[in-house]
C-alpha cells in the first residue's frame, strides 16, 4: 500500500472512531480526512469525474441530522461517505473533424449498396452458369438447390435480391404497401439473370432528390397476419437492407457448397474505393 494511502486510511479510522457527540454543536471543526482522488476519468486525470470529498464543515438540518458540505453525513453513530459525482465531459473531437459534420442522404445510405450487392449477385450467376457448363452439372440442379431442406431455393434467393432493392424502393416512392411478391420463380439461369438485370436497371434510374422527398413517408407492411408500419428510413435500413444481405449471402453459400469457385471478393462486388 502506498504511504499516502496508508496515512489516509489511518486518519479515516481515527475520525470514524470518534463519538457522534464530539461533532455536534462543536465550535472546532473535526480533523480533515484526506482520501486520494479516484482518477476514473482517464481523459482528464487532473480533474476526475468521481472523487470522495471529506472536508468537514458541519451544518445542522431538520430532524437533528448533522451533514457536511463535502459529502460526509453524521447521523447517530454512523458516518456515511457520499461520492461527489460529476457528469462526464464529452471526449474531445479529433482535430481533423472539428467544425465538420458528416451526414448521409437516404439515397447515399441505400442505393449505392443496393447496386453493389445486386451487381455482385449478377456476376456470380455468370460464374455459376460457367461452372455448370465446365463440369457437366445440370443448371436446374443449382437453380433449385437449397442450403438445407427447410430453406427456400437458390431461385428464391435471387428473386429476393430484386425484392429488397428495386421493389422496396419502388414501393416507397409510389406510396404503396409492401408485401412479399407472388410472381413465379425463374427456372433457368436466363430467367435469374433477367431478374437481377431488371433490379439494376431500376436502381440506376432512381433520382436522389425524388427519393429524399419520400423520406417522411410511412410504409405499410402486410404479410399474412403481420401488418405494421415503417418510417421510410427504417423500412430501408432495418428491413430491406438486412434482407438483401441475408438473401445474397444465402445465394452465395448455396453455390459455394456445390463447388462453384467463388470467394469473398465475388460477394463484395465493385468496392467504392478512392480513385488513385
Cα angle 192-194-196, degrees, rounded to a multiple of 5:
75
CA distances from 186 to 128, 140, 160, 179, 228 (A): 15, 10, 12, 19, 30
Show Cβ contacts of residue 80 under 8 Å, excluding neighbours closer than 6 positions.
72, 73
Question: CA 80 to CA 263: how far, in whole Å?
Answer: 64
pLDDT at 235: 98
* Domains of the chain listed by start with CATH number: 3-85 (no CATH), 106-268 (1.20.120.450)
pLDDT digits 0-9 by tens, 116-140:
999 999 999 999 999 999 999 999 9
Report residue 176: phi and psi, to 5°. -95, -175
Per-residue pLDDT tens digits for 221-261: 999 999 999 999 999 999 999 999 999 999 999 999 999 99
Give the range among 28-42, 144-158, 188-202 with minimum mean pLDDT: 28-42
Residue carrying C-alpha cell 442505393: 111
pLDDT at 90: 56
- Greater confidence, 172 or 91? 172
Strands 66-68 and 58-60: antiparallel
How many Cα atoms occupy the beta-carbon half-sphere of 201 within 13 Å? 6
Determine what percent of the chain is predicted with pLDDT higher than 70: 63
Cβ burial 192-214 (10 Å sphere, 16+ → b, else e): bbebbeebbebbeebeeeebeeb
pLDDT interval class at 14 (50, 70, 90): low
pLDDT above 80 for 10: no
Report pLDDT for 276: 79
H helix runs in 144-240, sequence order: 154-162, 168-174, 189-205, 208-212, 232-234
The answer to whether 22 touches 58, Cβ cutoff 8 Å, is no
User: Residue 148 carries which DSSP code?
Assistant: S
The number of beta carbons lying within 10 Å of the beta carbon of residue 129 is 19
User: For a pLDDT cut of 90, what percent of the chain falls above it?
Assistant: 62
Question: If pLDDT is split at 50, 70 and 90, which confidence band does 148 have?
Answer: very high
* Model confidence pTM above 0.85: no
pLDDT of residue 208: 96
Structure confidence at residue 13 as a pLDDT band (50, 70, 90): low
* Cell triple for 264: 469473398
Q: Contact 215/233 with Cβ under 8 angstroms?
A: yes
Q: What is the pLDDT of residues 158-208, one digit of tens each?
A: 999 999 999 999 999 999 999 999 999 999 999 999 999 999 999 999 999
Radius of gyration of the chain (CA): 34
Give the DSSP letter of residue 154.
H
Amino acid at each position: 500500500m502506498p504511504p499516502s494511502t496508508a496515512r489516509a486510511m489511518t486518519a479515516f479510522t481515527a475520525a470514524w472512531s470518534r463519538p457522534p457527540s464530539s461533532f455536534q454543536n462543536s465550535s472546532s471543526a473535526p480533523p480533515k480526512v484526506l482520501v486520494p482522488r479516484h482518477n476514473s476519468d482517464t481523459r482528464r486525470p487532473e480533474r476526475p469525474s468521481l472523487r470522495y470529498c471529506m472536508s468537514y464543515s458541519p451544518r445542522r438540518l431538520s430532524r437533528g441530522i448533522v451533514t457536511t458540505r463535502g459529502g460526509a453525513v453524521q447521523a447517530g453513530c454512523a458516518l456515511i461517505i457520499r461520492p461527489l459525482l460529476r457528469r462526464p465531459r464529452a471526449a474531445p473531437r479529433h482535430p481533423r473533424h472539428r467544425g465538420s459534420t458528416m451526414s448521409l442522404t437516404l439515397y447515399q445510405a441505400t442505393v449505392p449498396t443496393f447496386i453493389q450487392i445486386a451487381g455482385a449477385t449478377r456476376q456470380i450467376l455468370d460464374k455459376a452458369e460457367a461452372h455448370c457448363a465446365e463440369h457437366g452439372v445440370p443448371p436446374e440442379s443449382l437453380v433449385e438447390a437449397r442450403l438445407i431442406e427447410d430453406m427456400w431455393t437458390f431461385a428464391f434467393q435471387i428473386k429476393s435480391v430484386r425484392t429488397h432493392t428495386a421493389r422496396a424502393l419502388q414501393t416507397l416512392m409510389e406510396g404503396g404497401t409492401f408485401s412479399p411478391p407472388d410472381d413465379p420463380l425463374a427456372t433457368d439461369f436466363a430467367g435469374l439473370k433477367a431478374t437481377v438485370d431488371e433490379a439494376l436497371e431500376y436502381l440506376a434510374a432512381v433520382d436522389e432528390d425524388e427519393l429524399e422527398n419520400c423520406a417522411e413517408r410511412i410504409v405499410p407492411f402486410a404479410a399474412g397476419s403481420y401488418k405494421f408500419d415503417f418510417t421510410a428510413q427504417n423500412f430501408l435500413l432495418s428491413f430491406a437492407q438486412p434482407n438483401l444481405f441475408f438473401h445474397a449471402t444465402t445465394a452465395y453459400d448455396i453455390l459455394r457448397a456445390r463447388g462453384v469457385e467463388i470467394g469473398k471478393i465475388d460477394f463484395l462486388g465493385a468496392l467504392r474505393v478512392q480513385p488513385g
